[in-house]
Every structure is written in structure tokens, then in C-alpha cells.
Structure 1
Amino acid sequence: MVKKTPKLIQDDIWLQPYSNVILNRIEAALKKEKELAGSSSLYEFASGHLYFGLHKTAGGWVMREWAPHATFIYLTGTFNNWEEQKKYAFEPVGNGVWELHLDENELHHGDLYALSMHWALDYGKRIPAWANYVVQDPETHIFNAQVWRPEKIYTWKNNEFNGITEPPLIYEAHIGMAGEEEQVHTYDEFRKNMLPRIKANGYNTVQLMAIPEHPYYGSFGYHVSSFFAPSSRFGTPDDLKRLIDDAHGMGLAVIMDIVHSHAVKNEVEGLGKYDGTRYQFFHEGGKGEHPAWDSYCFNYGKNEVLHFLLSNIKFWLEEYRFDGFRFDGVTSMLYFDHGLEKAFTSYNDYFNENVDGEATTFLTLANKLMKQVKVHSISIAEDMSGMPGLAVPLEHGGIGFDYRMAMGVPDYWIKLIKEKDDNDWEVGDIFHQLTSKRLDEKVVSYAESHDQALVGDKTIIFRLIDKEMYFSMRKDQPNLIVDRGIALHKMIRLITATTAGGAYLNFMGNEFGHPEWIDFPREGNGWSYKYCRRIWSISENSDLKYHWLYDFDREMIQIMREHKLLTIPSVDLVMGNKPDKVLAYHRGLFLFVFNFNPTQSFTDYGIPLGPGKYQVVLNTDSGRFGGHDHVDEDIPYYTLPSSGLTSQHFLKLYLPARTALVFKKIDFPKVK
């Protein structure tokens, strides 16, 4: 039988030597899907959360857990004084599954509970793996599961929302630090204060970090302990549902960071040695430990683990109506060496014995499941390796992500700002770095995310302005360093967003140049929340320069969304003048002109174009954004022929130093 060559390989002749590897990868995923789902569907298979965990039924309460190496399991809690009692003993029902039935009056909403797990020669307390709500005692800091079964079940209001079909303009956010006060903020505060702000600023997608429960706040949510429980630090499950419901009512999609690349090592409140063994959910030995993250690595070869993780995907999409996921740590999943300290320089690096085929199978099935659950769901891969086919549709032979993170872009900006003087910035290289991607994949472009905002790193504005941010951000305090920083901050974000290869992302507060870094409460800073918040008031203070950046970002995003800029796939270079540091490119009807020259402004600078009439729609030099209003935005701009009407036309412009202009073509004059 001759296997059909998938479009992934047809579109890239350099993949042909690896066609067997790619075809085998596709076949492995299909085989595993059939093994898991049988004559049913992947959607039906991924329903573990409806079977395992604690559920209230017409006949009372039923609880099930998978713990193949357990010898006894008891349910303990506030209802039995945390004691092992016979009536709360689980019974084995086969295949490592344990089951407990209780009368309706044995448990009540708000009861705390945990498992007393026994295995050979030892036992320990365990938070149930499928628990859907976990709380931490504020005084003892001990975690316990909590029965969440209020009398009034949350009723969804915005049932017609089915996700967005336009390119995602993503506002990355962290619930706990989204407020201005020095404290952990809540789902409810985010719903009331942040959603209207995000909507007004033009973004159409909210990406929430740190939603699944995690024992250490400072992990940014990446050391997950309870995969089916929304973090109680920020409020109740209903509070999160209300947040998502209101977002949908505003037309906002809500996606979340999902961490299936690893899990926290904690044993009481995590999955570490859950049934007394290290290898229940994770690989044994060194393969099961991530050397850089101090965490455990899932064993994607186990069907029970696939059941757990795939059910987790369906759970968040259906129970909380999330609209998709950014999959964290995909590079770590794809390669046995986790991609650490590795430069991916040739196709050989993507198709060899270092690639974890079980992980590629899981990711393929995860993406297939997502579309079965919610057809307009969004899946984004956080991958720095650039594996071909990762963000290619399943039907074309890819792994099925909708987007991959363009992780090289923020790295490029950091390197450029740190290592090169403005006079050495090369506009052709900037354009190349921002537009280089596989033609068959879409990417999420961004100048900076939460990664660059963390303590130990620096945001773009901090790299540009540094200590002057403390002394010269009032409008009555002139400062050339600040002027340079504000000008470049606008230009960097504008060129990154408007060359984006499918989607664009911003981390909350970075749009207005939030000062300093993010530093979670920890022993080293006296458990302070001073740097673990967002100071929105400075962005709205008319006496400060921050609001210039805030206003600019809002207008930039709204223009991109109004004109559906990212639906236009082609970003076409018009000119790149290396000595002058002037760059121009087209995207549909829009012309973008950047003068990165730090000192020289140009009069009557000619941009070679066809005949046309243009109007300024955005200008970084506008006084509204802290510029000098040297460009007339009210007049139309016409191209002029260099000699006769059929000769090369030029758009003659005044280009101030360190500024960018966005034009829209508004007329198509015919040449007779």
C-alpha cells in the first residue's frame, strides 16, 4: 500500500528525506487514538473527570481514584475528624481503580477532605488527583480538597458565544497581580476591573496564567499540583465561571496556560508518589525528572496518563468554557533532552532518536480533541525549537497547533537593545527577523511577555530607560534618555505587531511601560507584594509620560482589529535603506514607514510605490503619544511620478528621526 504524501511534505521539499519519520508519526497517533477510543470517539474517551473524583448522584455520593499500587484508601475530612473509618474505606474495582459510595447526608458543600493512601510498608495523606477544588489554610498553609456543590449551580448567561474567528490579539494576564494593591487579587476583581479595560483597549483574547492550583505562588502557576482545580487563591470556581461568562458577553475569548509538560514534585498536594510510587504518572529514573525545573515529567506512553491529561483538556473547555490553551513547555515535551542548551540548526535535529514519539502522539491527540470539543478553540505551542509541522493542521500531516509562539522575536529585541548602539541597527535584519517563519504555520508574535518582566530580566522600557524611569517620567522633566526610550518602545511594538504572522500578544502593563519587574512574595524580599502587582494609576495620570504609551497601544490595537490587519497573510517589503535606517513595507492597503535613524530626519523622502493616494492613520510622532507633531496627519499624501505618468512613483514624506508612520491607501487612480 502506497501512503499518500501529506501536504506538510509536499510544501517543503527539504522534509522529503524525513517523510517516513513523519508518516510514522501520523500513523502512531492514529493507532493510539484507535487503541484509546475503540469504536467510540476521542471526545467520549476524554471523560475521566465525569467518572473519577467526587460526584453527587441521585443515589448519594460516589468517589473514584486510580491508584494501582495502593493497598488501602480511606476518605478523611472534617466530617469524620480526619480519622480512618471503615464506612469511608474505598473498595478496589479493578485496573487500579478504587471506589467509595456514601449516603447523601455524609458530605456537604464546604466540607474539607483528603485521602489516607496506604501502600506497601507506608501510607500518607493525598489530595485526590481529580479534585475540582482545593483550598489552603491561611494559618497552617496546609492544602485540602473541598467539596464544591452549592445548592445553586452556576447558570451561564452568554451561551451563544462560540469563540472568535478573527486573529487573536492576546492580552496575557495573571489574576493575582492584576490589581494595584499589594495583595493577591481575585477573579471577581479581574472581572470587574480588567475585562472592561481589555475590551476598551481593543484586544479580543484574554490569556490567563496560573489557573490550575499550584502550591507555590511564585511559580507563576507552572508547578501545578491539582490539574482539575482552579486556584482558590483568587476565589471560587463560580467566580472563575462568572469571569469567563462576562468576558464572553463582551466578545472576548478566554484561553489559559495549560501545563502538561511537567508537574510539581509535591507528594501531599501534588501527584508525586501519589500511590507510593514515583512511576504512576511519571517516568522512572532520570527520565522522569526535569533537570532545570525541579519537577516530574509525565509518561505519555501510559494510557491512564493520556486519559488523565486529555480529560483535563476537555474539562477546562466544557466545565469552565475556556476557549483554548497555550501549551507550556512544548519544547521540553518534544525532546528527551528537553531542548536544553541546544541550538536547532538543521532538520536532522527534529527527526532523530532524541524526539519523544509518545509526546508527539499526545500533542496530536490533544489538538484533535480540542476541535472536537470546541471547533473554534485556540491552541498555541510554546516551542523554541521550531519543529516543522508543529503548527500545521492535522489533515496536512502536522501536529495540529493553530499557532506557535514566535519566541525568537523577544530574544532578538533584547539582544539588539543590549548589544548594539542605535547607529548599528540594521533595518533589513529587523524586517527579516520579524517576518521569517514557515509559510505553512501561523505564529503569535510579541515583543515581550511575562518572561521578560520577571525579576532577573528586564522589560523593553526598563532596558531602554533604566534608572531614569525613577526620576524623569513626569512631563515637566525633560530627559533625552526617556525620549529615546518612549520613541523606540512605540516603534518596536508597532513593527512587531504589524508584521505578526497570525496573532499578537502583550503582557498586562507592558503596553504602557510598567516600571520595574515582577517579583513574587518570597523569603528573599520579606514576602512582599510591592512588585507583584500592576500600577494602573500611572498609565492614567495625565502628568506622567506612561499614558502616552498606553494611549498609543490602544490606538494601535484598535486599528489592527478594525481593519483585520492580521488576516492579510503577506507582509511585503517596499524598501530597506541601510545607511538611512529607513524601512517601508506593505500589508494589504496599509503602508508602514519606519525611520530608525537616531539623529537624522528626512525631508521629501521618496518611498517607491505604484500610483496612489494615502492617509495617515497612526503616527508615533503625534503629540498624543509624546511625539513632536512634526508630521501633518490631516492632509492626503499622493504618490508622484519621477518623470512621466508611467514612470516609478514615489510617496514623498517628512520622516522625523525615531518615528514611524502608518498610511492607508484610500484611492486607486487609473493611469491613462
Structure 2
Amino acid sequence: MGQAVEVYSLFTDFDISLFCAGKHFRLYEKLGSHTVTHNGKEGVHFAVWAPNAASVSIIGNFNGWNPHSHRLFVRWDSSGIWEGFVEGLRLGEVYKYHIHSNTGEHLEKADPFALASEQPPHTASVVGTTWYQWNDQTWMRQRQMYNALDKPFAVYEMHIGSWLRDLSDPGRFLTYREVAGKLVPYLREMGFTHVEFMPVMEHPFYPSWGYQITGYFAASSRYGSPQDLMYLIESLHKNNIGVILDWVPSHFPGDAHGLYKFDGSHLFEHEDPRKGFHPDWKSYIFNYGRNEVRSFLISNAFFWLDRYHIDGLRVDAVASMLYLDYSRDEGEWIPNEHGGRENLESVHFLKELNEAVYAQFPDVQTIAEESTSWSGVSRPTFDGGLGFGMKWMMGWMHDTLNYFKEDPINRGYHHDKITFGTVYSFHENFMLPLSHDEVVHGKKSLIYKMPGDEWQKFANLRTLYLYMYTFVGTKLLFMGGEFGQTSEWNVNQSLDWHLTQFEPHRGIQEFVKDLNILYRTQPALYERAFIPDGFQWIELGDHENSVFVFIRRGGTPSDDLLVVLNLTPMVRDYRVGVPTAGLWEVILNSDDVSYYGSGIPQGAALSEEMEWMGCADSITLKLPPLGGLILKQV
């Protein structure tokens, strides 16, 4: 094999200057392990950032995990990068970095830029490749048509390991390719426009749901190879389904092989625990003020968009990044230079992230999970915003679920929980999330949040979905919600797909499918999702009857939809004001018998010249119990 490690570099001086300035956003092309040919010899180039190391060596099966035989060379330019070429190594080689720190510690660390990892509980990195012969060119050319803010955006959020298990062996995960064979036809049938995968990056602790990441550039080996995940993404794209990844730049775990104290120093995280330790998740917070850390994180965002053709990033726990006092008591946090609680370094990072992503990938979306009233999360950075494309509307979610949990006899006292959302609904580009967080930790499944007997629970849930799909903003529903999963989500087992053989569950599944079809085919529900003139209340004050009436407006009056919600179990003959005279036809009724409804009949309604609810004309409708109607002028 010749010399154990040869001097060889993939870096140019320009690469190094960009890295040190925090402006290198494709570090995955340089750092990590890469198969190369050097001086006619095939092997692997290794490069790792460890500025506080006294020495760094490659250890693995190929050298008996001997820390003395394959030492890397530190670059002369003070970048802190160690690198070198090892002849004869191939794809699939298992390795770690042995780091002897300046403080005398001996550490064995996985490669922060590894493209693959061993299957947990093993923790070593694997020499991998992201080469793939993509066949989704049509989607990539046209995805602006599917990802734009004036297009339908109905997201199916899912966790790959617990969506469906092997029926013959429930303990076995399906592979990415097996998931493709089941998921793609299901999403096509159900009509969702996008799927959002909870984190697929390598994580050692499976019950963390993927939010405690150690391998930011490695697709989890639990489900197969990088190419297997690419096949899943490609299959979705070939069926015109976009793919969003849950991405976690907010914190990382303290596993011995991970990023924590990577070279014996607090390299990726803040040294002071008041800024560097997350009290909620017992994890560590990235040092966003460090140039090289920003390069690492933005490179990671680029990596998934570039190498995996991802169509959007849902950025986890943004609120925890924005506030220095997040989940901290007085005295447990350090004010910023102006004495405030805002994390100015994080704000700068988020703005730079979004500017860089949209500059290089203008047809994707970044979506913030942000639960506070921070101003301008989804506004452009040039207008003082953070630059995200969308923001989760957490206030709407909490208010809506709290309202629907109420027994109908009490709902009149909570009427404002439904109407209040429009006070602020156009401050941001909002996504309405009914996510995984709402169906775990004793919060109950969505169906069991609903009051009443079985029929009433399903009627309530159908009407909740109709309200979500006709309200402003884009939509997100966690797996299982579409068929009324009864148990809380359990990451260790499959969804309860057997429930779909029963009429109530089959009915709500059919209803969600029809909602998606309607959402995708009615411009009034998506063209002006973030524009105030796309929504108008007709009746928002009838708390006595718990009835709500509103209009969704499209580009022309012929697109307009009338939405009427009756959130009590009483059947009502009810007069409703309409914006234009004529014949109004019911195009969706949540109470239809095909959805396990009661089937209260309501045909087309011809308007009368009778002023009502501020409108010159009105119609009389028979409102179904705990039901919703969507009408359109014929």
C-alpha cells in the first residue's frame, strides 16, 4: 500500500478562505471521505476540521483500529483542517477519526461529513457515495409549478420507521425502496401534494424520532443506502409529489462519537452552558457566531437540496434558536450586546441560510417551526424578515384544537378561538399544522380529542379537516390522522392500518381524499392563501348557534367558495348571506353518508334578494349536525 497516508488535498486556497469566513456552502465536496485517484492510485481522501487537536489519525478495520498507523497531516494555513490520502481503501470501508486533543484527551469520533454510517447501535462512519443516476428531470424542471406560494400545498407528515412495518415481521423496518412501493401509490390516491419526512439523518437513539442527529450528511442506514433514499425521492417526484425534509440546526446530542467536544474543545457548540446547553432536550446548541459552524450548517442544507433533490426544508425548533432565554429562568441566560433576549448570532445565521438557499435553489421552500410572535419570520430579509418561505401557524393549531375539544354545549363561550386567527393570519405565510407533536405524550390521537360518542367524534374531526382546508394558508396532516388513528403515535410500531376496514375510519379517509381533490382543483383555496382579499367573513358572531360562514376568493368571482360550519349537533335551517346572486351548489358536505355522516340532504340553493349578514342576497340552507358545507355558484 506504500506510505500509510500521503499528502494530498481537495482544497484550494479559495476554499479555505471561504470556509474560514463562513461562506463555503458546499463543504461536503471537500470535507469527509471521498474516493479519488491520486497519482494513478485509487484510494480515499480524508479531511476533518479539528483545530484543537494535537494529532488526528484514521482508524478502522483496515488497520485494526490502530491510532498510530494512519496519521493525517494538518494544513499549514491555520484552518484547523487535517487531511490525507490512503491508498487502497474502497467504498464501504468503516472508519472513525482518532483525535488526540491539545488537552491530552484521546477521542474516537464519527466523521461529521460522512455520507453513510453503520447501522445503530454501531456508530462508525462508512466511506460512501451520493452518486445516483437520477430520472426525475421533468419534476426538477417544473417543480416551481408545485412549490410556489400560489399553488396547492397539502403536506402528509410521516415518520418512515413507523408508517408501516413488515406485516410478517412487525419488528422489521421497511427499506426506503419498500416504502416507495407502498407510499407513492397511497399518496397519489389520497391526493397530497407533498410529503414531509421527519428527520432521516443518522441518529443513534431511535426514540428521538430523528431529532438527535449525529450524522448530518448521512441518510439513516436503518432503512437502506443513500441511493435507496434517492430512489424513494425520485419515485415521489415522478408522480408529481414534492419532498420536504425535517431539518434540525438547533441542537445536537452529546453522544461520545458525535459533534460534542469534537476535538476536545467546544468546537461546534458554545462553551458557556447558558448559551450552549439546551435544558429541554439535554442537548447542545450550535455556536452560530462561529464562521466555520455556519459553513457546516448551510452546507448541510445545500447538501440535501443538491444531492438528494429535496424540495423543501422544515426547520425545527426555530423559536429555541431565536431567544437566549428560551426555556431558561432568570440568571440562566446571557443577554445580547444590547441587553436583549434575542439571539443576534442565530438571527444572522437564519437570514444568511435563507438568502443562500433561495439564491441557489429558488424553486424550493424553507418552512419555520416557530411558535412565538417574532415578526417577519416569512418575510424577505431585505424587508427586515428572517427570509423563510412559510411559518407553522401554531396559534391557529392550539386555538382550533382547544375549541374542538369543547363539548358543543360550551362552544359558544369559546367562539373567539375560531375567529381570532384572522386577526393575524396574514402577518406571515402560514402553514396550518396538525403534526406529530399533537398526538404523543398523553395528548391523545386527533379522533380522541373530539367530544361525544363515536359518531360525533368522527363528525367533529371531519368538520375540523374541512375548516383547516378552507381556512387561509397551506396544510399539514400527520400520518394516521387521515383515517382517524385511535391510539397515540408510537414510534416503535406501525400505524393501525387495520382500522380502515371499519366504516367510520374508511369514511374519514375517503373524506380527506376528497378534500385534497377539492383543494387542488379550486383556485380560491390556494391562489390567495396569503393575501387578505382571499378571505372574507360573512358571519363570525353567531356564538349562540356556533355557526361560522366565510368566503374564499379566487382570481375571478366565479371561483369564489362559500363555507358554512355548524359546530353543534343540531340540524339547522339557516339563512346565509351570499356575495353574488344566483344558484349556489354544495360541492362538498362533510355529513355525506359516504363519509359516515348522517346524510342530511342539501341540494342547490337559489338566492333571494333579501339582505342578510351584510349581503344584498341570501340563501337558506339546511345545516348538517357537526358538519360543514362548501358551496360554489353554478
Q: TM-score per shorter chain, which class?
A: 0.7 to 0.9
- The 1-side partners of 2:610 and 2:354 are apart by 53
Aligned residue for 1:505? 476
Q: What are the Cα deviations for residues 219-262 of structure 1, in whole angstroms up to 9, with x where unaligned? A: 11111111111111111100111111111111111110110001
Deviation per CA, 1:252-286, whole angstroms, max 9, x where unpaired?
11110110001111121x10111011344434333
The answer to whether the Cα contact below 8 Å between 1:75 and 1:90 also exists between their aligned partners in 2 is: no
Name the CA distance, whole Å, in 2 between partners of 1:168 and 1:304. Answer: 35
1:386–1:604 CA distance, 2 compared to 1 (3 A): closer
Residue equivalent to 2:164: 179
The farther-off stretch of 333-342 and 248-257 is 333-342
State the shift of 1:498 in Å.
1.0
**Counterpart in 1 of 2:506?**
547
Distance change >3 Å, CA 89–CA 394, structure 1 → 2 = closer
State the shift of 1:196 in Å.
1.6
Which residue is 2:25 aligned to? Answer: 46
Aligned partner letter, 1:464: M
Compute the TM-score of the two structures, normalised by the length of structure 1. 0.82
Q: 1:340 and 1:285 mapped to 2: Cα distance?
A: 11
Give the whole-Å Cα distance in 2 for the aligned partners of 1:201 and 1:427. Answer: 33
Change (3 A) 1:407 1:604: closer
- The residue aligned with 2:633 is 665
Question: Does residue 353 of the first structure (1) align with residue 353 of the second (2)?
Answer: no
Amino acid in the other structure paired with 1:367: N
Q: 1:567 is matched with which residue?
A: 527
Q: Which aligned pairs between 1:49-448 and structure 2 lie closer than 5 A?
A: 49-59=28-38, 60-93=43-76, 94-103=78-87, 105=88, 107-119=89-101, 120-136=103-119, 141-149=121-129, 153-162=131-140, 163=143, 164=146, 165=148, 166-181=151-166, 182-183=170-171, 184-268=173-257, 270-338=258-326, 353-418=340-405, 421-425=408-412, 428-437=415-424, 439-446=426-433, 448=434
Q: Give the secondary-structure state (helix, strand or coil) at the position aligned to 2:356.
A: helix
CA deviation after TM superposition for structure 1 residue 180, in Å? 4.3
Instruction: Trace 1:531-610 onto structure 2 (pairs within 5 A).
Output: 532-539=493-500, 541=501, 543-564=502-523, 565-568=525-528, 569=531, 570-576=534-540, 577-588=542-553, 589-598=560-569, 600-603=570-573, 605-610=575-580
1:492, distance to aligned residue in structure 2 (A):
1.0
* Aligned residue number for residue 31 of structure 1: none
Distance 1:116 1:317, change over 3 A: same
CA contact (8 A) 1:300 1:358 kept: yes
The amino acid that maps onto 1:210 is P
- The CA RMSD measured in Å over matched residues stands at 2.6
Is 1:329–1:382's contact at 8 Å kept on the other side of the alignment? Answer: yes
Tell me how far apart the structure 2 counterparts of residues 661 and 442 of structure 1 sit (CA, whole Å).
26
Question: SS of the residue aligned with 1:197?
Answer: helix
Partners of 1:643 and 1:266 lie apart in 2 by 68
Q: Is the 8 A contact 1:265 1:296 kept in 2?
A: yes
Structure 2 distance, partners of 1:438, 1:621, is 28
Q: Is the 8 A contact 2:217 2:303 kept in 1?
A: yes
- CA distance in structure 2 between the aligned counterparts of 1:288 and 1:442, rounded to whole angstroms: 31
TM-score by length of structure 2 reads 0.87
Check the 8 A contact 2:22/2:293 in 1, yes or no.
no
Amino acid at match of 2:610: S
- 2:599 equivalent among 617, 625, 629: 629
Counterpart amino acid of residue 334 in structure 1: L
**Compared CA separation, residues 595 and 545, structure 1 to 2 (3 A):** same
The answer for the alignment partner of 1:470 in structure 2 is: none
Q: Is the 8 A contact 2:507 2:594 kept in 1?
A: yes
Contact map agreement 1:324 1:378 (CA 8 A) in 2: yes
State the number of aligned residues.
584
Once the two structures are TM-superposed, the CA of residue 553 in structure 1 deviates from its matched residue by 0.6
Identity of aligned residues (%): 27
Q: Which amino acid aligns with 1:429?
A: D
The match for 2:454 is: 482
1:509–1:240 Cα change, 3 Å: same
The superposition leaves residues 319-377 of structure 1 with CA deviations (integer Å, 9 ceiling, x where unpaired) of 111111010010000000126699xxxxxx9x971001110110001111111221111
Comparing 357-366 with 649-658, which one deviates more in the overlay? 649-658
